[in-house]
């Protein structure tokens, strides 16, 4: 501390001698008088002109943002301060917990002894398979190959799994550590351990060794070729660089773009039946990715399925923002997106009402729009289905690992400098959440085993990323994620607060059992926050694969029940335990519910003059 003070005063003296007082300080004052005016001294220290005493408004933070943006570029958008604070919280409380230290010491000693005994037994009985000390988690497929059960590889992977168990115990259950910091430290420890897994090293992986022997080392040559191709062509290739082509094999349901503004293109899909339900359907997808997750290949397109069942379907296709769109707000997405689409659809179909469907963030935005419409007595919504959508962000899932004040401040600085959040910065967070599937498994198959990349339609869509405009994304992160304003009644539209409890239209809410983006228990909270009829459906699968679940898809199940406003509340655990499971796709159950909301049919409405053919131009923007 003494050295820092000496350095401060010495640099102050140097700057006082070097600065141009005519710019930074009026010449009728003595230089030492600056010490009585810290704002003038700060200008001299930084070498910037003194602009007089100004209020600390947003423009005064530019220098802070420049520095934080530079840090963000170095760390890939991760806040080192957030990680350091989590580490300090964990390590200091661990030092204050001698009983926890004793517990870890004893547990580590027992694990080492058990592992040594297992290693000795497997060495003596190399031809037999012994009972393992610990089994991998059900979702961990790294050691599923029978070759891992042979010595010495069984000893390697058992030691790794026991280390993984010990570190999980070391980073959890420590008194005094905040829940968020505990989750961050546990996640960081898991990432480091996954990096060191024996499955990631050719010399320790029996599957790689066997393939090298079988192919006489050709797998390494193929892997090197794959790595070179990835380096030259960028592994985040778009669908246009694969067999899947947007407008040909993806997003190929026939239709027309009937409306376009600076933020959306509105697609109307061509009818596939002689009569249609009288109430049209608007789908509001998330703007975090391209809309055609709901119109993938013909066999798993939700759009085609609805059209074939006699529904008139409209889809919002969001623009991929650039730096010039930096000031787009959440309310711009509501007005230019949902409200302009509703106005166009009602005018086109001559229907006074419509069904509005929201997926992921699109469902969150739709809920805001629906609450605003209810407040303003706008009765154009007939129902509001929500797919994997959250309106309460108190328990947002594993994404909360990357969302705290420090992290948001860093992202804000990056977006302020760029005008948007780059798609690669978002993709990195999602890849880390599923690093075994998206990073290490790919590295093993593509580089060590030399297998060709097998791109599915869902993978091609996942690589077709988008950007987030600065102003909107900061509002989303702060108002919804950090402060949970929507669920707690503080979210305002046009200067007036809105309440989800004002929504009176029927809701069909879908959660997916292994969703790491919108956990189903979080989506289940729609029962607590609205005062209307809620039909809740929980389906197998994850955030994307659970929603893209066409009839005929094998190994699919779902649970479904209807809850009226007068019915008593059932907590999610009891609901999950008591609601019967049904085989098959939830699509049919939802379509039946949707048809019951609009039982009458008519001839298909005529399509207005088109701006262009579907899928439009916004979806092709890079």
Written as one string, the DSSP assignment of 480-548 is: IIIT-TTTTT--EETTEE--GGG--S-EEEEEETT-SSS-HHHHTTHHHH--S-EEEEEESS-TTTTTS
Closest listed residue to residue 346, CA positions, set 318, 381, 374 = 381
Residue 602 tokens read as: 């008519």
Contact 21, 27 (CB under 8 A): yes
Contact 72, 410 (CB under 8 A): yes
Counting Cα atoms < 13 Å in the Cβ hemisphere of 99 gives: 3
| Number of neighbours of residue 390 by Cβ within 10 angstroms | 28
- Tell me the C-alpha to C-alpha distance, in Å, between residue 91 and each of 79, 82, 175, 415: 19, 14, 11, 32
- What is the spatial distance between Cα 226 and Cα 233, in angstroms, rounded to a whole number? 10
Catalytic, 537? Answer no
Residue 357 tokens read as: 């469907």
Provide the H-helix boundaries in 137-205: 153-171, 179-195
Contact 369, 338 (CB under 8 A): yes
Question: In the chain, what is the greatest distance between 2 CA atoms, to the nearest angstrom?
Answer: 93
What size, in residues, is the chain? 622
User: Strands 386-387 and 354-359, how do they pair?
Assistant: parallel
DSSP code for 31? G
User: Strands 420-421 and 386-387, how do they pair?
Assistant: unpaired
Contact 367, 491 (CB under 8 A): no
Backbone angles phi, psi at 445, to 5 degrees: -70, -40
Q: Omega of the bond prior to 615 within 30 degrees of 0, cis?
A: yes
Catalytic residue among 133, 360, 537, 612: 360
Positive or negative torsion for Cα 210, 212, 218, 221? positive
Closest listed residue to residue 390, CA positions, set 506, 520, 504, 482 = 520
- What is the spatial distance between Cα 297 and Cα 464, in angstroms, rounded to a whole number? 15
Give me the residues paired with residue 559 across strands: 538, 581
- Tell me the C-alpha to C-alpha distance, in Å, between residue 327 and each of 247, 418, 585: 30, 12, 41
DSSP code for 205? -
Give me the residues paired with residue 469 across strands: 420
Closest listed residue to residue 328, CA positions, set 283, 261, 378 = 261
Residues designated catalytic: 360
């Amino acid at each position: 501390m003494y050295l820092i003070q000496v350095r401060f005063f010495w640099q102050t003296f140097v700057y006082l001698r070097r600065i141009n007082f005519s710019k930074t300080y009026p010449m009728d004052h003595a230089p030492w008088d600056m010490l009585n005016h810290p704002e003038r001294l700060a200008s001299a220290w930084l070498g910037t002109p003194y602009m007089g005493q100004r209020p600390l408004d947003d423009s005064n933070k530019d220098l802070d943002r420049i520095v934080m943006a530079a840090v963000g570029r170095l760390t890939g958008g991760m806040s080192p301060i957030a990680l350091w604070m989590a580490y300090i919280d964990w390590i200091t409380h661990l030092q204050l917990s001698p009983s926890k230290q004793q517990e870890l010491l004893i547990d580590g000693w027992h694990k080492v002894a058990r592992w040594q005994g297992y290693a000795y037994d497997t060495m003596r009985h190399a031809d037999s398979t012994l009972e393992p000390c610990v089994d991998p988690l059900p979702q961990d497929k790294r050691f599923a190959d029978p070759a891992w059960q042979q010595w010495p590889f069984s000893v390697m992977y058992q030691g790794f799994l026991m280390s993984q168990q010990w570190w999980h115990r070391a980073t959890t259950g420590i008194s005094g550590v905040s829940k968020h910091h505990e989750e961050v430290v546990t996640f960081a420890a898991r990432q480091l351990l996954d990096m060191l897994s024996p499955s990631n090293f050719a010399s320790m992986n029996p599957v790689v060794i066997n393939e090298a022997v079988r192919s006489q080392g050709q797998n390494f040559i193929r892997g090197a070729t794959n790595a070179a191709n990835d380096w030259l062509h960028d592994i985040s290739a778009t669908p246009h660089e694969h067999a899947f082509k947007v407008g040909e094999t993806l997003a190929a349901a026939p239709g027309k773009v009937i409306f376009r503004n600076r933020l959306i293109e509105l697609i109307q899909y061509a009818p596939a039946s002689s009569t249609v339900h009288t109430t049209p359907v608007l789908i509001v997808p998330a703007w975090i990715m391209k809309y055609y997750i709901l119109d993938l290949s013909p066999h798993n397109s939700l759009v085609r399925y609805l059209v074939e069942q006699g529904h008139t379907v409209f889809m919002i296709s969001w623009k991929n923002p650039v730096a010039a769109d930096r000031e787009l707000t959440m309310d711009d997405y509501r007005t230019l997106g949902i409200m302009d689409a509703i106005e166009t659809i009602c005018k086109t179909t001559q229907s006074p009402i419509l069904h509005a469907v929201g997926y992921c963030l699109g469902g969150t935005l739709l809920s805001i729009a629906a609450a605003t419409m209810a407040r303003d007595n706008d009765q154009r919504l007939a129902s509001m289905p929500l797919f994997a959508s959250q309106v309460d962000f108190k328990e947002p899932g594993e994404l909360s690992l990357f969302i705290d004040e420090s992290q948001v401040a860093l992202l804000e600085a990056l977006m302020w400098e760029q005008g948007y959040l780059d798609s690669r910065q978002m993709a990195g967070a999602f890849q880390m959440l599923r690093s075994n599937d998206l990073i290490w498994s790919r590295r093993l198959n593509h580089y060590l085993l030399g297998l060709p990349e097998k791109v599915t339609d869902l993978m091609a869509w996942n690589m077709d990323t988008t950007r987030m405009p600065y102003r909107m994304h900061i509002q989303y992160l702060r108002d919804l994620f950090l402060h949970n304003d929507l669920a707690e009644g503080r979210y305002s539209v046009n200067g007036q607060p809105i309440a989800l409890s004002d929504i009176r239209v029927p809701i069909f809410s879908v959660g997916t059992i292994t969703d790491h983006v919108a956990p189903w228990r979080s989506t289940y909270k729609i029962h607590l926050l609205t005062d209307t009829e809620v039909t809740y459906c929980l389906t197998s699968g994850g955030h994307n694969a659970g929603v893209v679940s066409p009839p005929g898809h094998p190994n699919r199940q779902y649970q479904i029940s209807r809850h009226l406003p007068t019915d008593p509340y059932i907590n999610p655990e009891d609901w999950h335990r008591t609601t019967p499971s049904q085989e098959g796709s939830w699509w049919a159950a939802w379509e039946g519910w949707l048809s019951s909301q609009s039982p009458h049919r008519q001839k298909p409405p005529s399509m207005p003059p088109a701006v262009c053919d579907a899928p439009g131009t916004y979806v092709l923007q890079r």
